Amino acid sequence: MKIEGMRVPPRTITIRDVARLVGYETNVEVIDVQTQMSSSAWTLEDWANYFETPAAEREKVLNVISLEVTGTPMESMVAAPAMVVESDWVERDWPGDKRPTTDDASKWPKVQRYVLMGVQGAFTDFHIDFAASYVYYHVVWGRKVFLFAPPTPANLAAYRAWTSSARQASEWLGDALQQLSRVEIQTGETMLIPAGWIHAVHTPQDTLVIGGNFLSDFNVQMHWRLEEMEIATRVPRKFRFPHLIRLAWYVAAGWETRLRTENIAPRIRQGIAQLVKRLERELSTMHEYDAEDHLTAKAKRARDAVPHDRVPDADSLLQSLRGALEETPRKRSRT
């Protein structure tokens, strides 16, 4: 079945083709499956050489899950389904002129076009994608097996305890999760992973996948809940959704206009209210001073995250959004 808007590479594409299109000298982060530790010392040429080695001759089982190809010749082969693009905060609200395609994710949330390359036996332990982002996931060739658990309070509590435990490497989280289910996707199939779902991934055979992450208005509370968990459990910034708060300000600026001109479904309005609530905390942080009456480091980061090209006055923007949220139900009741 053809999915509207989605573009995927042909099934004849090889890992050598990926290396050629993206650049043989491009560095790629490679995960040692046994230790779940990563190394960025590899180039794509190194990776292609490894991948082409017969399975019996590979000294280690390795995995690549974070190669983003926007700004490379491979970008034209990878596009998310239309339903994803229409919901994606970055696609909708991050200005196009603020997305330098030749740069890495240091300037903007470049998380839309990942190429994942796993060899037979590769395994990714239980995790939730950064900021509880949604994921679209398409198997170009090969096969993947997922274990999923919904983000119930009990499961999230178990997940948080496990990620904070010194026994994480030796304990099987699946024993503590409720409503665990198995999903297998094969060549040509596409899956959408909901926000916040806990999952582990096994690769039964050499597999090539394309996919991407996105945030949307549908489950904003879950995005902030996981952000809070990531901070509490000290997840390094490199493994968190890039420029999350700057993106939130762009989204808020976009909604200031849309709330005045569109009829908004109740669930979306709830999401906007959660967005405002989170940014109110940022506004409060901006005014934190230390004992010597200097702005704290957190306050400086909060101020730097505001995109003044769209948000000249953060306080006024949030006041405007609060007013629009209060007005919308009354306006709709009179129509």
User: What are the extents of the domains in the chain?
Assistant: 15-222, 243-333
Q: Report pLDDT for 334.
A: 45
Q: Report pLDDT for 102.
A: 65
Distance CA 216, CA 24 (A): 34
Spatial neighbors of 307 by CB under 8 A, at least 6 apart, are 98, 246, 249, 250, 253
**Is residue 34 helix, strand or coil?**
coil
Q: Which CATH superfamily is domain 15-222 in?
A: Cupin (2.60.120.650)
- pLDDT digit string, tens, across residues 56-101: 999 999 999 999 999 999 999 999 999 999 999 999 999 999 888 7
Contact by Cβ (8 Å): 207, 141: yes
Compute the C-alpha angle 6/8/9, nearest 5°.
Answer: 160
Inter-CA distances, 152 with 128, 180, 202, 270, Å = 13, 11, 23, 19
Q: Report pLDDT for 103.
A: 58
CA 208 distance to own-chain centroid? 19
Which token pair is 250? 């762009």
**Is residue 289 helix, strand or coil?**
strand
Which token pair is 162? 């496990």
Strand partners, 63: 31, 118
Q: Report pLDDT for 335.
A: 45
Instruction: Mark the ranges of the chain whose per-residue pLDDT is less than 50.
Output: 331-335
Sort strands 62-68 and 27-32 into parallel, antiparallel or unpaired: antiparallel
Which string of b and e fits 140-159 if b means at least 16 CB within 10 Å? bbbbbebbbbbbeeebbebb
Segment holding 29, helix H or strand E: strand 27-32
pTM over 0.85: yes
Spatial neighbors of 271 by CB under 8 A, at least 6 apart, are 217, 218, 219, 220, 221
Q: Report pLDDT for 1.
A: 66
Sort strands 198-214 and 134-149 into parallel, antiparallel or unpaired: antiparallel
**CA proximity to 271, closest of 129, 52, 87, 138:** 87
